[in-house]
Amino acid sequence: MTASKIIRQILANPLLATSKHFERDAKQRYSELVQLINDHNHHYYVLDDPILPDADYDQLFRQLVDIEAAIPSLLTDDSPSRRVGAEPLDRFDSVVHKLPMLSLDNAFNDEELLAFDQRLKTRLREDADSAETAIDYVCEPKLDGVAVSVTYEHGVLVRAATRGDGAAGEDITENVRTIKTVPLKLRGSGYPAVLEVRGEIYISSADFIQLNERAASNDEKQFVNPRNAAAGSLRQLDPKITAQRPLTMCAYSTGFVDYQATPRTSNHKIANNHIADTHYDSIQQLAEWGFFTNSEITRFSSIDKAIGFCSTLAALRPSLSYEIDGIVFKVDSFLLQAELGFVSRAPRWAIAYKFPAEEAITQLNSIEWQVGRTGALTPVAKLEPVFVGGVTVSNATLHNIDEIQRLDVRVGDTVVVRRAGDVIPQIARVIIEERTTDATAIKVPTQCSVCQSPVLRLDDEAVTRCTGGLLCSAQLKEAIKHFVSRKAMDVDGLGDKIVDQLVEQKLILTVADLYSLELNVLAGLERLADKSASNLIAALEASKSTTLAKFLYSLGIREVGETTAKNLANHFGSLPAIIKAAIAYGFESDDDHSNSEELINVDDVGPIVAKHLNAFFSLERNLEVIIALQAAGLNWPDIDVKSADQLPLNGQTWVLTGSLETLTRDQAKAQLESLGAKVAGSVSKKTHCVVAGPGAGSKLAKAESLGIEVLDEKGFIERFLLTND
């Protein structure tokens, strides 16, 4: 029976006419209604091709709601009524992504896109030891919205999450159910048992205008731009509010895919657990399963042809119904994507080309010198507010005095402000022709605006710094926030607002004072009740047992990140040895010469990092703080230093993939590095071994195809943690 005939039959026979009829046919009618209304929603919102009049749709929807009210047990996850909005939430739960939602590197011109293509071809040649590999690219508009992940199990939507920090986001399932372009149940057949689809949620330009017009008529606050409106709508604790917002989701890729419960037939081609062999074909498949996809997505056989698409789409940009800020270039072949792999935060096989920045003209009213965690003074231009790049801009960074001199900018000047995407607004140039006689030159202050300490600019640096160190409250706040952060001392519960109060009320003057805080003092702070204060005291106590690398990183020494701190710890083994080498750096006397260059023998430590280490440990006040921290009970084991050739995995490259169950990824990586191995993010012919946990995908497949040794987590632990002294 055709859809139109079923519609006429249902409309001609009201379901609730008699109790007997209702009881006999309710389940069957309910299934028909769900299917019909979902079909209509797909045609109306995804295909822009309605299949029935609004009045008929409203009558069908009313019948559906009546059945659900009478027999609640019939309600299914894919019911169109779920789009109206569920009950309000108390908070959003956290969701860990099975595959990280990584960000993309950026390109701003044709040369950078050509360099991207050349990097990929060079890497593929090295891995394959063969001639240049041809690369097909897929280009798609870079939508200016909010990235989300939606997961389906056996075709039914079960979870939706924000990107968050890439590793974990917030559970926004009930809000996403209200979006008409998100299928509650996949269409067709052949989909995996578990399918994660990633996409961008946005508000079209026309819908944004109507949204703000409605807000204005109700005397409500208007949104600044469509992206903010979309983000705010998704984070409503009441899904009924989200349901009233005109949100659209455009699918642009897949994430975690599991065909385990779906037999793989000989005529169903699957590459590396993807739903197709190429990215372009996977987008077509998602469209067949009911997702809204972008009609401008195009595949090209070379980088030159793909670059030509940039000008084409840029010309179309003003006429598009949605906002974009660039084009995403992706390698089409999933097999090539697997070979290219990832760096720490981004895939090698994709890049975002950003359109030229949007600009506006305004006036520079004054300069404010902000003091950062390291004491750097940054000039911030206070502007006459101007709308540019979708937001109202009143501040713009000038970076440093060199930038001020390069621009020849003065207070009172008429300036051009540039903003591209989420980049911090900048002053692009000065309109000299409009300069007035009362425009005043910008001078670097001689004193810190926060603590009034003298400022200093080294000959080899463009940055001017406050010399107040730990005496400067601006630096102290940021130094403490860094000190207690997760990758440093990891003091849970000591958030930014609490740190601000502690410093502003002069309850702490150095990071060492954290460990002398008392319960009654903390409980008296805003946002801290007795239980929270007690938990914070416990967290501070727990943080006293740490590692040398974490402690070194927590000190906030310029250019000393996690990796450098770890390399220093492993090379010297103890803090006194590091301090001795740092202070000795640069000395040329006979007594000290043997130690003067030892610092730059450490991996990742060059002359610049060595100078920062020397400057930090040469200041008596910093050593006093370290002594106070150790007196407060901070401790860590020294490291048994071995030469590289004594380490069992020296010179080997290992890869971790999948979910580890006993160890965290960081713990496994640290163990491998302590044994001399380099831990890489992708598998190549140079990989010595792969440690694979549950959910391992393309990396495991590639390792097996190359004949590389693979260990599960148990085998890794037995080989290195149980037998290694």
- Catalytic residues, by residue number, are 142
Number of CB atoms found within 10 A of residue 234's CB: 23
* Count of residues in the chain: 725
The residue type at 121: K
Q: What angle do CA 512, 518, 521 make, to 5 degrees?
A: 110
CA dihedral (118, 344, 346, 137) in degrees, to 10, reads 40
Of 387, 389, 385, which Cα lies nearest the Cα of 423? Answer: 389
Distance CA 660, CA 406 (A): 52
- Which residues lie below 8 Å from residue 638, measured CB to CB, with a gap of 6+? 548, 573, 574
Distance CA 679, CA 667 (A): 12
List, as one string, the DSSP characters of 602-658. STT--HHHHHHHHHHHH-HHHHHHHHHHHHTT-B--------GGGSTTTT-EEEEES
Distance CA 722, CA 351 (A): 43
**Regarding beta strands 137-143 and 168-170, do their DSSP bridges make them parallel or antiparallel, or are they unpaired?**
unpaired
Please check whether residue 138 is in contact with residue 332, taking contact to mean a CB–CB distance below 8 angstroms. Answer: yes
Structure tokens at 160: 């939706």
Structure tokens at 17: 């006419």
Distance CA 398, CA 412 (A): 15
| Cβ contacts of 488-494, under 8 Å, gap ≥ 24 | 488/550, 488/553, 488/554, 489/543, 489/546, 489/550, 489/551, 489/554, 490/543, 490/550, 491/536, 491/539, 491/540, 491/543, 492/535, 492/539, 493/532, 493/535, 493/536, 493/539, 494/536, 494/539, 494/540
Structure tokens at 334: 């999933």
Q: Which residues of 1-29 are buried (b: 16+ CB within 10 A; e: fewer)?
A: eeeeeebeebeeeebeeeeeebeeebeeb
| Residue recorded with tokens 């000008």 | 311
Q: What angle do CA 43, 49, 53 make, to 5 degrees?
A: 85
Continuous segment of H or E residues that includes residue 324: strand 324-331
CA dihedral (55, 60, 62, 63) in degrees, to 10, reads 150
Q: What angle do CA 511, 517, 520 make, to 5 degrees?
A: 155
Distance CA 124, CA 132 (A): 8
DSSP 719: I
DSSP 225: S
Structure tokens at 156: 């039914």
Structure tokens at 440: 């005043």
Of 217, 215, 221, which Cα lies nearest the Cα of 244? Answer: 215
Continuous segment of H or E residues that includes residue 394: strand 391-397
Distance CA 360, CA 437 (A): 23
Number of CB atoms found within 10 A of residue 537's CB: 17
Distance CA 658, CA 699 (A): 9
Please check whether residue 196 is in contact with residue 99, taking contact to mean a CB–CB distance below 8 angstroms. Answer: yes
